[in-house]
């Protein structure tokens, strides 16, 4: 993997694609700056070498039109605060001003270009637009893991203009190494924990991971499709009726590949999808009509705990209960505790994709697991076994 550590940036202008698509409140103030923090090491390395940095990113979905609410000017103060440096700003990512500001940039300086998606050419992967961006810098660095699954002008197409001067940033390298550690070089036993609402969105991941893993824990809403397919009474729990055959096929494939599958054995059920609903704990195969399973029961938590404590590599994607409601968060909290404990004892744990990342942040597990991925869609596509366009463009 060619990373920025393989290059000395002295007197070079590095064109760095980052993912500063940060969440904002109604006043457009940044509410979570994780994505800015995440690329700080890359920016510092380039500046410390004696180079300068031109930052390119998108923010939101302006769909090819200039719109004040998506302007990077709004997040500039937060970027300066996190980086602890003054950042110059250009009100367009291409054109005369961008050319001039890039040309005038001195070693040690940072320039932020306006939202790439103000130009429809960005998402269309336009080569002329990519060339205009490319002309601004001497070296291309991709550190935008969050958009690495997109074949856009700044994430992939641009790389062709830097045949021998394109590198992965340090965040990209860390993300790719973490995935590799699970799928390719993980210490055994390897356990994947998949939760969340739907089986349908996780099928490709399961199929791709089976050859690599030893244990598969299936929890959350998606477990009920399996339980029902196995003949269980699941009451009004979430189910994808048309995916039952597929669920049985997955179990069969897992068996053929010697992967042990663990489904919940009990459930915290409620008479309504509501935090104040009446609650009971029952066997997962015996959920009465009118009730729905919203969290893993105590016996399931213990079962999952034992599997996790016997694992050396752990991948976690998706909550195993409706953790957003306090009365149904205990199962996911217990799971987080088990993973934290195993990690403390030397296992490698990767948390990736959407809601489980939100969970670890909200419940304070970020520092108790080995790695929390910053890229939702990109992480999921990697786990599905796809080569991400942003990665391919640098490797080719």
- Pick out the residues of the known binding site for substrate: 19-21, 35, 58-61, 117, 150
Decide: is 318 part of the binding site for ligand AMP (CB under 6 A): yes
275 vs 70, 154, 356, CA distance in Å? Answer: 35, 44, 20
Closest alpha carbon to 299 in 332, 265, 268:
265
Decide: is 375 part of the binding site for ligand AMP (CB under 6 A): no
Strands 190-194, 313-317: pairing is parallel
Report the binding-site residues for (2R)-3-phosphoglycerate: 35, 117, 150
Alpha carbon distance 95, 132 (integer Å): 8
Piece of the chain touching ligand AMP by CB under 6 A; list 16-24, 130-138, 143-151, 196-204 = 196-204
Alpha carbon distance 279, 166 (integer Å): 56
Q: Which is nearer to ligand AMP, 62 or 319 (CB)?
A: 319
Piece of the chain touching ligand AMP by CB under 6 A; list 48-56, 115-123, 227-235, 321-329 = 321-329
Q: Which is nearer to ligand AMP, 74 or 305 (CB)?
A: 305
Piece of the chain touching ligand AMP by CB under 6 A; list 8-16, 253-261, 299-307, 313-321 = 313-321
Shortest approach of ligand AMP to residue 324 CB, angstroms? 5
In the set 293, 336, 352, 390, which binds ligand AMP (CB under 6 A)? 293
- The b-or-e profile of 141-151 (16+ CB within 10 A means b, else e) is bbbbbbbbbbb
Report the binding-site residues: 19-21, 35, 58-61, 117, 150, 202, 293, 324, 353-356
Helix (H) or strand (E) holding 268: strand 266-270
Decide: is 229 part of the binding site for ligand AMP (CB under 6 A): no
DSSP output for 135-159: TT-SEEEE--GGGTTS--TTTTGGG
Tokens of 315: 């991948």
Chain residues binding ligand AMP by CB under 6 A are: 195-198, 201, 220-221, 238, 293-294, 318-319, 321-322, 324, 354-355
Active site residue ranges: 35, 198, 354, 377
């Amino acid at each position: 993997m060619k990373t920025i550590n393989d290059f000395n940036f002295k007197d070079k202008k590095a064109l760095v694609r980052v993912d500063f698509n940060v969440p904002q409140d109604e006043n457009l103030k940044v509410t979570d700056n994780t994505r800015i923090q995440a690329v700080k090491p890359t920016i510092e390395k380039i500046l410390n070498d004696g180079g300068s940095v031109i930052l390119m990113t998108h923010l939101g979905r302006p769909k090819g039109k200039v719109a004040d609410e998506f302007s990077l000017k709004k997040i500039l103060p937060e970027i300066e605060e996190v980086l602890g440096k003054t950042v110059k700003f250009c009100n367009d990512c291409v054109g005369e001003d961008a050319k001039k500001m890039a040309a005038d940039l001195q070693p040690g300086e940072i320039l932020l270009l306006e939202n790439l998606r103000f130009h429809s050419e960005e998402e269309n992967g336009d080569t002329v637009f990519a060339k205009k961006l490319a002309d601004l810098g001497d070296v291309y660095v991709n550190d935008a893991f969050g958009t690495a699954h997109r074949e856009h002008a700044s994430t992939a197409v641009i790389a062709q203009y830097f045949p021998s001067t394109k590198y992965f940033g340090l965040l990209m390298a860390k993300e790719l190494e973490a995935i590799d550690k699970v799928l390719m070089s993980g210490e055994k036993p390897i356990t994947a924990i998949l939760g969340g609402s739907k089986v349908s969105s996780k099928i490709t991941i399961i199929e791709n991971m089976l050859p690599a893993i030893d244990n598969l824990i299936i929890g959350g809403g998606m477990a009920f499709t399996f339980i029902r397919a196995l003949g269980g009474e699941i009451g009004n729990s979430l189910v994808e009726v048309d995916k039952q055959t597929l669920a049985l096929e997955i179990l069969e494939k897992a068996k053929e590949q010697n992967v042990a599958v663990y489904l919940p054995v009990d459930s915290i059920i409620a008479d309504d999808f509501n935090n104040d609903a009446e609650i009971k704990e029952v066997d997962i195969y015996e959920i009465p009509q009118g009730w729905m399973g919203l969290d893993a029961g105590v016996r399931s938590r213990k079962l999952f705990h034992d599997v996790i404590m016997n694992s050396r590599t752990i991948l976690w994607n998706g909550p195993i209960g409706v953790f957003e409601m306090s009365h149904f968060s205990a199962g996911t909290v217990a799971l987080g505790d088990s993973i934290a404990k195993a990690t403390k004892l030397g296992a490698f744990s990767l948390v990736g994709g959407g809601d489980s990342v939100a969970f670890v942040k909200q419940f304070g597990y970020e520092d108790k697991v080995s790695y929390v991925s910053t890229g939702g869609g990109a992480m999921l596509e990697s786990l599905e076994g796809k080569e991400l366009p942003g990665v391919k463009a640098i490797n080719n």
